[in-house]
Structure 1
Amino acid sequence: MGGERITRRGVIVGAGAGLVAAATGAYAGRDEIERWWWRVSGRERPRTDGALDHAGAEWVAASSANWRRASRPDDYTIDRIVVHVVQGSYGDALDVFRDPLHEAAAHYVVRKDGHIAQTVRELDVAFHSGNRRFNERSIGIEHEGYVDRPAGFTDAMYTASARLAAGICARYRIPVDRTHLVAHSEVPGTDHTDPGPHWDWDRYLRLVREAAG
């Protein structure tokens, strides 16, 4: 190779030409090469599996079948938070996230009393939104409760979730607005309805801004 230097752009453009030509999705081809680059270049983000991204959370690992290893935000830009409601309890959410047959998990679960579990590292892509590109660009926050039971959305839950969201927004410079903090029901292609009509978005955004303050 002599003095020739392999650059990330060179890998993407050069190696990508054959792959992308053979694939229907330029996005998918480029995407896999982007991820490959961060691995083989030795630039993958240092990690300690099970380390917490949100102080005070409890680590409860989701099954590895429900997320995929990544090196965000180097390989995928993080610019969205997706708000979910379980349609069940905190324990229900953790149970299904640990089930390899469930094929879904969010990064966090917030309990009614404000306790938070982290189940997937923010570095990694959790299968939470039903849309690949949204999964790659977002962090999912699941909330205990039901979409038709507003009493379950407690003060403690709103406050804890808002602090969590504020930290995420600060880490990745995500604007605190309804373009970047979205409902699961707003993700393109989804058939879900959560967090539903009783989720108080005005209150939530105000609390996130205050926590970010």
Structure 2
Amino acid sequence: MGEHSAGGHSAGRGPREPRGGPGRRALLVGGAAGALGVGGFAARDTLSRWWWRYSGSETPRVEGEVDHAGAEWVPASSANYRQASRPRDYGIDRVVIHMPEATYPITLRVFQDPGHGAATHYVVRSEDGHIAQLARELDVAYHAGHQGFNERSVGIEHEGWADRPEYLTDALYESSARLVAGICDRYGIPVDREHIVGHNEVPDVVRVCPGPHWDWDRYIELVRRAAGAA
């Protein structure tokens, strides 16, 4: 269930995902400083301090506001995510699919426990596809067990157990697909298996979720239909 039970890594302390080049912050700060010409290196320090002073923690938030229409706001403990200003400070290019090995109400309760150390952005109920949002998409939820993936992804739990396919209802698949289609549209994420992944596919994490019964072909097709990309 999230990253706390996935090998023990917690965001901020887990391994960083290898990056192919300078981060967004480095490009913005470095590029701006370079444009100043002589004295650019001195200006870079000033710009760097300015960036963090106006980081995502200062972004205004409205209590109860959700990113997915129809979702219910059920906030996770603030210990289980950190405030950010994505995609300004961290680009979002992945969706991570989870299965908590628990019922919907227990999953919510666990993510509201500050001692758990993990939470996803969303939880989808099996019976009717109802969606709870626990953290805003602009924030970094501790769900993947890998700091780089936490920063770049939106995490979604789906009520159930990996070895109990009866929890994988039509309502769950269809509701989740609409949710993911909206996320992909907001951040320009391609609807494919490279960008929509299982928790078991996150580097350096030992997990089985969403498990062998998760129908990836069906799911991606549902997301494409919901996105109008079929």
Give yes or no for contact 1:107–1:120 (8 Å, CA) kept in 2: yes
Match of 2:67 in 1: 53
Deviations 1:97-118 (A, max 9, x none): 0000000000000001100000
**Letter of the 1:158 counterpart:** Y
Q: 1:140 to 1:11 in 2, by over 3 A?
A: farther
Deviations 1:113-149 (A, max 9, x none): 1000000000000000000000000000000000001
Which of 204, 210, 213 aligns to 1:195? It is: 210
Give the RMSD, CA atoms, in angstroms: 2.6
Q: Once the 2 structures are TM-superposed, how far is the Cα of residue 8 of structure 1 from its aligned partner?
A: 3.3
Match of 2:192 in 1: 177
Deviations 1:10-57 (A, max 9, x none): 579958999xxxxxxxxxxxxxx59x7164389964432431000101
State the structure with bigger RCO (CA 8 A, min sep 6), 1 or 2: 2
Which of 24, 29, 53 aligns to 1:8? It is: 29
For the residues of structure 2 that align with 1:165 and 1:128, how far apart are their CA atoms? 16
Structure 1 segments (4+ residues) deviating >2 Å: 7-18, 38-47
**Letter of the 2:174 counterpart:** T
Match of 1:207 in 2: 222
> Unpaired segments of 5 or more residues in structure 2?
1-27, 35-39
Match of 1:131 in 2: 146
**2:57 maps to 1:74:** no
Q: TM-score, normalised by structure 1?
A: 0.83
Q: Once the 2 structures are TM-superposed, how far is the Cα of residue 203 of structure 1 from its aligned partner?
A: 0.5
**2:124 maps to 1:103:** no
Give yes or no for contact 1:38–1:75 (8 Å, CA) kept in 2: no
For the residues of structure 2 that align with 1:121 and 1:144, how far apart are their CA atoms? 20
**Letter of the 1:98 counterpart:** Q
Partner SS, residue 97 of structure 2: strand
Q: Once the 2 structures are TM-superposed, how far is the Cα of residue 189 of structure 1 from its aligned partner?
A: 1.0
**Letter of the 1:61 counterpart:** P
Match of 2:18 in 1: none
Count of residue correspondences: 192
Give yes or no for contact 2:81–2:142 (8 Å, CA) kept in 1: yes
> Unpaired segments of 5 or more residues in structure 1?
1-6, 19-32
Judging by fraction of residues, say which structure has more helix.
Answer: 1
For the residues of structure 2 that align with 1:192 and 1:167, how far apart are their CA atoms? 26
For the residues of structure 2 that align with 1:188 and 1:134, how far apart are their CA atoms? 9
For the residues of structure 2 that align with 1:173 and 1:121, how far apart are their CA atoms? 18
**Letter of the 1:178 counterpart:** R
- Indicate the percent of aligned positions where both proteins have the same amino acid: 62
For the residues of structure 2 that align with 1:166 and 1:143, how far apart are their CA atoms? 16
